[in-house]
Structure 1
Amino acid sequence: MEHLVRSCYKKKSGYVFAKKAEDIAREYRLGQIARLASNENPEPLSAAARVAAEEALLKVNRYPDERVNVLMNALRAYYGDYHFVTGVGMDGVIETLIRTLVEPGEEVAIATPTFSFYALAAMGQGAGIIPVPRERDFSVDPEKLIRAAGPAKVTVVCSPNNPTGNATPVETVAEILEGIEGVLFLDNAYIEFSDCDYLPLMKKHENLVLGRTFSKVHSLAGLRIGYAFTPRWLPPWYQRASTPFTVNSVSAAAAAAALPDRDHAERYIAQVRRWREKFTEEVKFPVLPSDANFVMVDVRPHTGDRIAEELARQGVVVRSCRSFTGLPDHFIRVSVGEDWENERFVTVINSL
């Protein structure tokens, strides 16, 4: 019965996951593994989020609130008078936005190299993909993007970008918004670790959607909850296209409690800023400037796969960047973890 599977999935692979720490520990008979592959916050969720999640867990025999009011109210209390949508992680927001706006056969423009799920979500909707290569320094040329994105219903830019780490200046984003006809989805999954503030653009542009996540700075990666700032016109249509009861009640409660806990967030933000500098200073391979909670390292003359495998043998899990379309195969991506994890990474990579 495999002939029934859609041809697009036969032609292209799905999302490429990093190697699991448990698998590496078993394969190489290691005890402690430094987990630096998935851009996670190594600190457990905040006490407030844990309490809220435990209370919500007692009521999971009932369907969650389809309006996700506990989280919507928390978002408005924290950010002010904006319009929001939610989803199962940033991936869920991306997928639902494309489902809402893009007809099969229409196009989505994507600044590459970047997070592969944008193209997978567009492909799943039957959309065509317009890849728009970044410049040699991985910056976005606004004029080139505007020209390429002419027919696109949705244009996607990740800032700070995964896996390169660099942020797109606010002025460049404003120029793109003025020049395209469709919607710009600006993925801000790592925005808390940068100095950029795109929110003022929401008041000026009806074609901007800013995606955010609780997976990184708020330590809720396992609860899979994302959200986005949207123009006023979008939420009713987005809700119409959404899967019913998308965000579960435990995730919504934990996220609502985590959002105002600035102490928890600031600890990891400070950790990230400190270790980005240390990586740049201490790693013998070139470390690219980063505005995210990871850095990309150029490991030439080696390949990313080879260095990732050598690091794994010594108990350090990082991400080879080979699966990022348009990126040369001599980069690895390294998350900022706990001190001992970061120190082990520096020691091991410098010994290679």
Structure 2
Amino acid sequence: MSVTINAHQLSRLIDKTISHMASEYVEPLHGIRLDVDAKYVYAVASDRYTIAVARYQLNHGDQQQEPWARTIPAEYLRSLREWIQSMEGAGLITISTAKDRLIFEGPQSDLSIAVTPGLEFPDWRGLLRKMVEQTVEGELFPCLNSGYLSRFNTGDILRVRFTADEKPAVVFAEDFIGALMPARHAGVYPCKEETFEGAHKSWLWTLAAGSTDASLDGAAYEEDRPLYDVTTDIRETGEALLQQTLRSGWDMSGKSTEKRDEFLAHCLAAVNGWTAFRYLDALYNVDPRAAAAVVAEVAGELESGEIGDFAWDAAEAAGFDPEKWHSEYDARLKAVEKKPAA
């Protein structure tokens, strides 16, 4: 099974979808899905929050082949892009499957990539089919310049209000309001399909092959992070601190006070979790950017596993005597060891 596409078009397919891949903790979605049917070759990526599909129409001679699909793992995309960039844009690339490999054959060199043939990937045709078919007939179908959308990446959760066709889209967030002018405002109408019906029709052949009950729900697409993985996202950090506080409180209430060490450990975890959350929340309200920077910096320190050294240095920098603390702690442990059991 093989398909032929020029280097420029293959590069465009990757560039249009690579930002939508999931992290390494969602293996089935950590890459770009190369999907081929009788009319098109598609590049598909999703992180469960967004989904992107780019397509290239095949030459007539390729339209008799059997459909196939493979996921290009994210770790190989950099080498693939570099290989594509090493040739002329018009150079033809033949992509074929061979057991657990995707083979890219160029005019002067070849590239082979290891893939997992049976790796599960969501029914993207079905997902988009459901979304498109849920659209109410006659709804607005504004034309926006995608290059301007990135300017609203402020880290906020945005709400969007489409006022009318050929009118600005208004965006709202906490203490923020903005507007994005329609593409037609510049005096040029770059949208190929002027109506929703026209756009839907151009994808109807593709989406009709999707299931009507497709879903991204299920264990296959859940994050498989290590138990103590550290996040750099400020909202996730706040959530983790609140969870720690509540879970420690629940564990504390379920433990007998006779198990003093275990009980005190849960008390300490609950107190520290709540204290850290309150400090983070206060810092965020004063300076959100500073809060985000601190969370990212602390995440790096935790990942390094050297927080004991960092704490010692911080104590000395603040004018304290960590050596004295250590001596007092050792003396307290020795006193406990010598104390006869009750």
Shorter chain as normaliser: what TM range? Answer: under 0.3
- Higher helix proportion (structure 1 or 2): 2
**Could you state the TM-score of these two structures normalised by the residue count of structure 2?**
0.21
Q: Which has the larger radius of gyration?
A: 2
